[in-house]
């Protein structure tokens, strides 16, 4: 492409077209060269070339241009200045741009005479304009939003003079008529926001006169500090306003308006009504309005007082909105109208009230339908078991709807609208929620997750949460958050899973338990059956006695095993019997020692560590005994040498117990499983694996608990505690003294006396006394044969095979004592006892039963039994009980 502007051959042509007159001046001031484009005589070559330029200039021009010329030479920087030139009686104005050119200066001369003359003309015009402003009552004003000061000058004859003045904007507002203040404020606010060339009219009350002003902005400037600077014109249009002749046009417009318009005074007199008002209220066109009262026409204004209540809501210069129900007296189809009432002050200072209303019947009907649907939807949403929150994305994620959230239910819905998460939650939680919302906005993908939190009471909450973004052309984008409280469902699910795992584990354990139980039952049975036959075959009395002791030991072992199984059955069915009595702990521990010392393995010492002997608590003595027995028995199994110690002490409001052994200990990974049912940590040891589980259940029912600590190879300590109920020891001691169960324990000790220790009656006395008769109610032959073998040589026995036969034989035989089996056909032992007690209150009745729990004993006593002996029956104990009740 050909570069025309860079072609040297074109330079002359371009210079002629674009440049001003060019003068090249040496540093001495001589015109070295000149290129003129002007017809002015003093810019021609023959006038300038080779001449001293500065000598050709007038003195005042030379004084201004010479310093600039020297500055260009020295600093080698260009300068542009305007100068005045007077030659031969003519005045010229020019712009001179001086460029450094080697050691010379290139001066570009541009004639600005015409522009300068225009400026002068403008100044003359401004003077004329000022005169016009005086005639037109126009002034100028300035305003800076930072200062809040209104500056003005001019010729409006209101405040203004030809010298600038100022007034604070607040004070200026005091002069504005009340009804026009809002208009002026809105206009000023719009101009502060952006340039607004629209003018407004308002009124000033000054020197007891109302003036009409019209104000307009012509300049708006935003300052660096953020403030706004405004300039404009203001005109006094009072005369114009007062003489306007377009009132008829305004009246015509009002008359044809669809709104119902009227004006009335404070006494209710109508001063104006448009055509729509007259039609609505059946006012004839030729009716003299001055004779009408508004409260005689408008349906919802029944009296002057009602009209006064209406207009008194409107302050001077303000307006008030209202809704009038059934506003037309003759048309009940119109349900309501909505209107605005204005307070207007006339030029004479008289107040009147202008009402503008329109029919909103259709809107009310539509809104009623919408409200009905909204009420239905709100009710549905409110009763859904879900928290719903709707946020406006473009408005700082503020709530536009919120019914509740599961862990923030106290906040009222009406207080939530317009707030956001930072108004509800700690900052950390709020920021987390905001990050979730922004992620959804950025990705435009919803989120669905399960959240576990805590409410204000630290209660666990499990929430199913879902957040989605909704966009529409009809409203700004929103985020909808829906949360479902699935706590119960999830916990139930987890519980079912845990139950399933537990059931599977329990099933495996039960299988192992059954196999173990089979072994545990068969082992003593094997000894009982085997040695029973050997006893029958042996003729050596000492040998039979030794074998009998083996059989008796295995009987006890088998009975213990059955009791544990029965206890398990009670626990699983939720029935565990407890009898609360005063328990002296020292006496209980001594009984435990006496019961277990003969079972202590060789090489092991059983040690009771004495404590406060005065401690008496309210609890179940037998159950505490059972717990100690289980723990000590377990310790014996796993302790080959050393000791098994036990004891108790008081600690605050608890009594702490312990059983400590020096045995094999428990592996760390198995310590937490020792209280599980059917759990045996050592399969070589005897037992069912139920004892510790039963202990834990008993202690929990007694209000306590049990723990274990163990060091493998060094020993184990089982610690358990019970509530300290010894706050009134005197009362408990008295109860111990008086309590029948305590007396029963004493009697029980007496019953355990060996028959050989009973002092026999003298032989002569026995010979004189006849055999006592015992009625035995027993339906099982083998059981009766056993009793006959035990008692038949000492007493006369009469057998009844069921309860009915026992009652009949009692009347016939009149026995000295009755042994009553509880479980019998036709009529059980308890019912038979009740009938016999109606016949005799003295005869001793001893209940015998394989049901050996405390409530079985209580049931027998309540039916009238004198005493109770469990099966299998120990013959020594049976003989002692019989002798006691027969008085032998």
**pLDDT tens for each residue of 815-868:** 999 999 988 888 899 999 999 999 999 999 999 887 666 778 888 999 999 999
Predicted local distance difference test score (pLDDT) of residue 840: 92
pLDDT in tens, 89-130: 888 888 899 999 988 999 988 888 888 777 777 777 777 777
770 has a pLDDT exceeding 80: no
> For the chain, what is the mean pLDDT?
82
Nearest-10 Cα torsion for 862, 865, 867, 870: -90
Instruction: Tell me how crowded residue 311 is: count the other CB atoms within 10 A of its CB.
Output: 20
- Decide whether 128-242 matches 262-364 in CATH topology: yes
d(CA 701, CA 690): 17
Q: Which CATH number fits domain 128-242: 3.10.150.10, 3.40.50.720, 3.30.450.20, 3.30.70.1350?
A: 3.30.450.20
Segment 332-356 mean pLDDT:
87
10 has a pLDDT exceeding 70: no
Band of the pLDDT at 143, cuts 50, 70, 90?
Answer: very high
pLDDT in tens, 156-166: 878 777 778 88
Phi, psi at 866, each rounded to 5°: -85, -35
Band of the pLDDT at 888, cuts 50, 70, 90?
Answer: confident
Closest to 634 measured CA to CA, from 599, 607, 608, 670: 599
Q: For residues 719 and 367, which has the higher predicted lDDT (pLDDT)?
A: 719
CATH 1.10.10.10 fits 8-111, yes or no: no
Predicted local distance difference test score (pLDDT) of residue 356: 92
Q: Which of 49-53, 131-135, 295-299, 568-572 has the lowest mean pLDDT?
A: 568-572
Q: For residues 451 and 686, which has the higher predicted lDDT (pLDDT)?
A: 451
Predicted local distance difference test score (pLDDT) of residue 512: 60
23 has a pLDDT exceeding 70: yes
Segment 130-138 mean pLDDT:
75
β-sheet bridge partners, residue 258: none
pLDDT in tens, 171-209: 999 999 998 999 999 999 999 899 988 889 999 998 888
Predicted local distance difference test score (pLDDT) of residue 884: 92
Predicted local distance difference test score (pLDDT) of residue 733: 46
Predicted local distance difference test score (pLDDT) of residue 677: 60
Predicted local distance difference test score (pLDDT) of residue 768: 40
Q: Which of 221-230, 500-509, 709-718, 740-749 has the lowest mean pLDDT?
A: 740-749
d(CA 369, CA 379): 15
Predicted local distance difference test score (pLDDT) of residue 517: 63
Give domain limits for the chain.
8-111, 128-242, 262-364, 384-485, 576-744, 753-886
413 has a pLDDT exceeding 70: no
| Whether the bond into 872 is cis, omega within 30 of 0 | yes
In eight-state DSSP terms, residue 289 is: G
With pLDDT > 90 as the criterion, what percentage of the chain qualifies? 28
Segment 775-795 mean pLDDT:
87
34 has a pLDDT exceeding 70: yes
Closest to 621 measured CA to CA, from 567, 585, 664, 654: 585
Segment 41-63 mean pLDDT:
90
d(CA 37, CA 48): 14
Q: What is the DSSP string of 544-609?
A: HHHHHHHHHHHHHHHHHHHHHHHHHHHHHHT------EEEEHHHHHHHHHHHHGGGPPTTEEEEEE
759 has a pLDDT exceeding 50: no
Predicted local distance difference test score (pLDDT) of residue 718: 94
Predicted local distance difference test score (pLDDT) of residue 453: 78
- Alpha helices by DSSP H, listed for 444-584, are 487-537, 541-573
d(CA 748, CA 730): 25
Predicted local distance difference test score (pLDDT) of residue 763: 38
β-sheet bridge partners, residue 655: 650, 722
Predicted local distance difference test score (pLDDT) of residue 186: 92
Residues 6+ apart with CB under 8 A from 716: 635, 638, 660, 661, 663, 665, 666, 708, 709, 710
869 has a pLDDT exceeding 50: yes
pLDDT in tens, 249-266: 677 778 788 889 999 999
With pLDDT > 70 as the criterion, what percentage of the chain qualifies? 84
Phi, psi at 339, each rounded to 5°: -150, 175
- Give the pair of three-digit tokens for residue 371: 């409200």
Tokens 């239910």 belong to residue: 409
Q: For residues 472 and 852, which has the higher predicted lDDT (pLDDT)?
A: 472
137 has a pLDDT exceeding 80: yes
6 has a pLDDT exceeding 60: no
Segment 600-617 mean pLDDT:
90
For the domain 753-886, what is the CATH code?
A: 3.40.50.2300
Segment 734-758 mean pLDDT:
40
Q: Which of 10-14, 25-29, 349-353, 527-531 has the lowest mean pLDDT?
A: 10-14
d(CA 310, CA 424): 42
Band of the pLDDT at 764, cuts 50, 70, 90?
Answer: very low
739 has a pLDDT exceeding 90: no
Residues 177 and 345: beta-carbon distance below 8 Å: yes
Predicted local distance difference test score (pLDDT) of residue 340: 93
Segment 559-582 mean pLDDT:
68
Q: For residues 671 and 74, which has the higher predicted lDDT (pLDDT)?
A: 74
β-sheet bridge partners, residue 356: 261, 340
Residues 817 and 843: beta-carbon distance below 8 Å: yes
Segment 265-286 mean pLDDT:
89
For the domain 262-364, what is the CATH code?
A: 3.30.450.20
Give me the helix-helix angle, 829-839 and 854-863, nearest 10°: 30
Tokens 């050691």 belong to residue: 103
Residues 340 and 334: beta-carbon distance below 8 Å: no
Checking 287-296 for CB contacts under 8 A at 24+ apart, the result is 293/267, 293/268, 293/269, 294/262, 294/264, 294/268, 294/269, 294/270, 295/268
Predicted local distance difference test score (pLDDT) of residue 573: 59
Band of the pLDDT at 729, cuts 50, 70, 90?
Answer: very low
CATH 3.90.226.10 fits 384-485, yes or no: no
For the domain 576-744, what is the CATH code?
A: 3.30.565.10
- Give the pair of three-digit tokens for residue 394: 């473009």
- Residue 382: which H helix or E strand, with range? helix 361-383
Predicted local distance difference test score (pLDDT) of residue 403: 73
Predicted local distance difference test score (pLDDT) of residue 405: 54
Closest to 395 measured CA to CA, from 366, 418, 371, 424: 418
4 has a pLDDT exceeding 70: no
Segment 42-54 mean pLDDT:
90
Identity of the highest mean pLDDT range in 306-315, 469-478, 753-762: 306-315
């Amino acid at each position: 492409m050909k570069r025309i502007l860079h072609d040297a051959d074109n330079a002359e042509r371009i210079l002629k077209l674009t440049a001003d007159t060019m003068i090249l001046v040496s540093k001495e001031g001589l015109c070295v060269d000149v290129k003129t484009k002007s017809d002015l005589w003093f810019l021609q070559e023959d006038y300038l070339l080779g001449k001293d330029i500065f000598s050709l200039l007038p003195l005042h021009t030379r004084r201004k241009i010479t310093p600039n010329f020297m500055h260009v030479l020295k600093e080698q920087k260009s300068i542009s200045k305007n100068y005045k030139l007077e030659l031969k009686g003519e005045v010229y104005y020019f712009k001179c741009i001086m460029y450094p050119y080697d050691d010379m200066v290139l001066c570009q001369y541009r004639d600005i005479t015409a522009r300068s003359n225009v400026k002068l003309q403008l100044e003359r015009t401004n003077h004329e304009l000022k005169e016009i402003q005086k005639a037109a009552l126009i002034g100028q004003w300035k305003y800076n939003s930072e200062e809040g000061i209104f500056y003005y000058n001019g010729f409006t004859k209101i405040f203004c003079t030809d010298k600038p003045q100022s007034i604070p904007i607040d004070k200026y507002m005091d002069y504005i008529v009340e009804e026009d203040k809002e208009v002026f404020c809105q206009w000023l606010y719009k101009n502060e926001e952006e340039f607004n060339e629209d003018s407004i009219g308002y009124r000033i009350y000054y020197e007891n006169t109302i003036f009409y002003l019209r104000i307009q902005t012509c300049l708006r400037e935003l300052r660096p500090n953020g403030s706004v600077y405004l300039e404009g014109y203001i005109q006094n249009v009072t005369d114009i306003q007062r003489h306007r002749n377009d009132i008829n046009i305004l009246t015509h417009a009002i008359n044809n308006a669809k709104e119902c318009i009227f004006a009335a005074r404070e006494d209710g007199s109508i001063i104006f009504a448009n055509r729509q008002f007259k039609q609505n209220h059946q006012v004839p066109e030729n009716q003299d309005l001055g004779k009408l009262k508004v409260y005689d026409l408008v349906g919802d204004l029944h009296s002057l007082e009602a009209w006064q209540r209406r207009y008194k809501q409107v302050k001077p210069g303000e307006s008030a909105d209202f809704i009038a129900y059934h506003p037309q007296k003759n048309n009940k189809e119109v349900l309501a109208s909505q209107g605005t009432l204005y307070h207007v002050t006339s030029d004479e200072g008289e107040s009147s009230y202008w009402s503008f209303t329109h029919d909103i019947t259709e809107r009310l009907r539509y809104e009623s339908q919408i409200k009905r649907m909204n009420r239905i939807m709100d009710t549905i949403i409110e009763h859904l078991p879900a928290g719903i929150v709707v946020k406006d994305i473009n408005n700082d994620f503020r709530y536009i709807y919120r019914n509740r959230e599961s862990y923030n239910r106290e906040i009222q819905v009406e207080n939530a609208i317009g707030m956001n998460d930072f108004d509800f939650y700690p900052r950390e939680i709020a920021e987390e929620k905001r990050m979730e919302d922004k992620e959804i906005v950025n990705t435009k993908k919803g989120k669905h997750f399960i959240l576990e939190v805590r409410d204000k009471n630290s209660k666990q909450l499990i929430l199913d949460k879902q957040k989605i973004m909704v966009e529409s052309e009809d409203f700004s984008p929103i985020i909808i958050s829906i949360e479902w409280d699935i706590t119960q469902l999830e916990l139930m699910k987890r519980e079912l899973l845990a139950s399933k795992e537990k059931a599977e584990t329990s099933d495996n354990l039960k299988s192992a338990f059954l196999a173990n139980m089979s072994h545990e039952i068969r082992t003593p049975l094997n000894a009982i059956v085997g040695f029973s036959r050997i006893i029958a075959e042996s003729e050596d009395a000492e040998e039979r006695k030794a074998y009998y002791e083996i059989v008796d030991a295995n009987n006890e072992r088998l009975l213990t095993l059955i009791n544990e199984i029965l206890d398990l059955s009670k626990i699983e069915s939720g029935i565990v019997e407890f009898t609360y009595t005063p328990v002296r702990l020292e006496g209980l521990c001594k009984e435990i020692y006496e019961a277990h010392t003969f079972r202590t393995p060789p090489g092991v010492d059983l040690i009771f560590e004495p404590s406060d002997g005065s401690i008496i608590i309210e609890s179940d003595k037998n159950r505490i005994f059972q717990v100690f027995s289980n723990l000590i028995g377990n310790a014996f199994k796993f302790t080959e040498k050393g000791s098994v110690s036990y004891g108790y002490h008081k600690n605050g409001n608890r009594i702490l117990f312990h059983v400590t052994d020096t045995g094999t200990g428990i592996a760390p990974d198995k310590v937490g499983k020792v209280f599980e049912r059917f759990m045996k940590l050592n399969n070589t040891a005897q037992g069912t694996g139920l004892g510790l589980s039963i202990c834990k259940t008993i202690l929990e029912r007694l209000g306590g608990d049990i723990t274990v600590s163990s060091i493998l190879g060094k020993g184990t300590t089982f610690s358990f505690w019970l509530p300290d109920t010894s706050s009134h020891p005197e009362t408990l001691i008295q109860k111990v003294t008086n309590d029948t169960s305590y007396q029963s324990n004493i009697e029980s000790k007496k019953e355990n006396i060996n028959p050989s220790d009973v002092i026999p009656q003298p032989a002569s006395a026995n010979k004189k006394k006849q055999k006592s008769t015992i009625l035995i109610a027993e339906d099982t032959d083998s059981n009766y044969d056993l009793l006959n073998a035990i008692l038949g040589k000492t007493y006369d026995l009469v057998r009844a095979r069921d309860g009915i036969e026992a009652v009949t034989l009692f009347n016939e035989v009149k026995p000295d004592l009755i042994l009553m089996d509880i479980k019998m056909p036709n009529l059980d032992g308890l019912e038979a006892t009740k009938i016999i007690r109606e016949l005799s209150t003295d005869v001793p009745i001893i209940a015998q039963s394989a049901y050996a729990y405390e409530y079985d004993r209580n049931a027998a006593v309540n039916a009238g039994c004198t005493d109770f002996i469990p099966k299998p029956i120990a013959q020594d104990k049976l003989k002692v009980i019989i002798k006691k009740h027969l008085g032998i």
